[in-house]
Amino acid sequence: MKPIRIATVSLLIFIASFPSVFAQKEKIKAKVPKGFVYIPSGSFLDGKDTISVDAFWMLKTEVTNWDYQEFLYDLQNNGNIKALEIAAIDTLKWRTPMAYNEPYATYYHRHPAFKKYPIVNISYAAAQLYCEWLAGKISDLNKGRFIVTARLPSRLEWTYAASNGGKTNPYSWEGEYTRNKKGAWMANYFRLNEENADSVKTHTFYDSLNEHIMAPSQSYFPSKFGLYNMNGNVSEMIQEKGIAMGGHWKSKASEIKNTSSEKYSESACHLGFRPVITFSKK
């Protein structure tokens, strides 16, 4: 299928100039795409070790179908056939035993109704290729004045960001439960026989967002860092190949914590990603 041409560039069209970007302990003024939030440097306890993390920018949502279609269109427009083969979406991964997901195989990556939902069914190599493409776009926006790196976050960076700088809460929000005091769900995950069902003293339970098995990339509530869906919705690929963090829509509450990880060997309908960017002087 010919990729859909998007009239408006969703990720890069709005550019904001921030006072400073800290990269490698140097103060740099750079243009950062709208949709990225600043994660300040700091340290946190990883097991028994105290780990220092340099500052970086992180996409506040999982990369969406809309974002990815723009990437595919750009590859096609430039005749990059080899890259298109790597970046291909395997829609057949929606076909799983004991589940009727055929409508998703047909429409999820193509219909405008799903344009703001997270991209899934792509490989680790495809996610890396997207990050390289994104780095080039950001470098062009800054007229090549800096060395721009866009990549998947490391496990430590991802965990640090999810925990709002090393906080001890199990999730990216305050508290140990998956619903807030009003009874609203805080994340998209598998809720059958929910172990926290009696943890909230209210009967005002609702979840207007979860109309599909997946939720839009920007849904529920942002963390203190301004990040959405770090817990649940889709597991997120990180730099360490074969490892994804945060759990997904088929995970239990105990499997969507800030430290939750899983192994994968191929693309899947619950596996997505979000890039981080850093800047350094030439």
Helix, coil or strand: residue 244: strand
d(CA 119, CA 109): 8
Cα→Cα distances 13→67, 114, 122, 156, 255, Å? 11, 20, 24, 30, 36
Burial grade of 172 (CB within 10 A; 0-12, 13-18, 19 or more): buried
Looking at the DSSP bridge assignments, the partners of residue 27 are: 22
Helix, coil or strand: residue 179: strand
Looking at the DSSP bridge assignments, the partners of residue 279 are: 148
Helix axes 124-141, 65-77, angle to 10 degrees: 80
pLDDT in tens, the chain (282 residues): 444 333 333 333 223 333 334 333 346 789 999 999 999 999 988 878 899 999 999 999 999 999 999 999 999 999 999 999 999 999 999 987 766 788 899 999 999 999 999 999 999 999 999 999 999 999 999 999 999 999 999 999 999 999 999 999 999 999 899 999 888 999 999 886 554 444 433 323 334 444 458 899 999 999 999 999 999 999 999 999 999 999 999 999 999 999 999 999 999 999 999 999 999 988
For the record, the structure tokens of 245 come out as 């963090």
d(CA 246, CA 256): 5
Q: Which homologous superfamily does the CATH classification assign to the domain defined by 33-281?
A: paralog of FGE (formylglycine-generating enzyme) (3.90.1580.10)
Q: What share of the chain is helix, strand, coil (3-state, %, to 5)?
A: 20, 20, 55
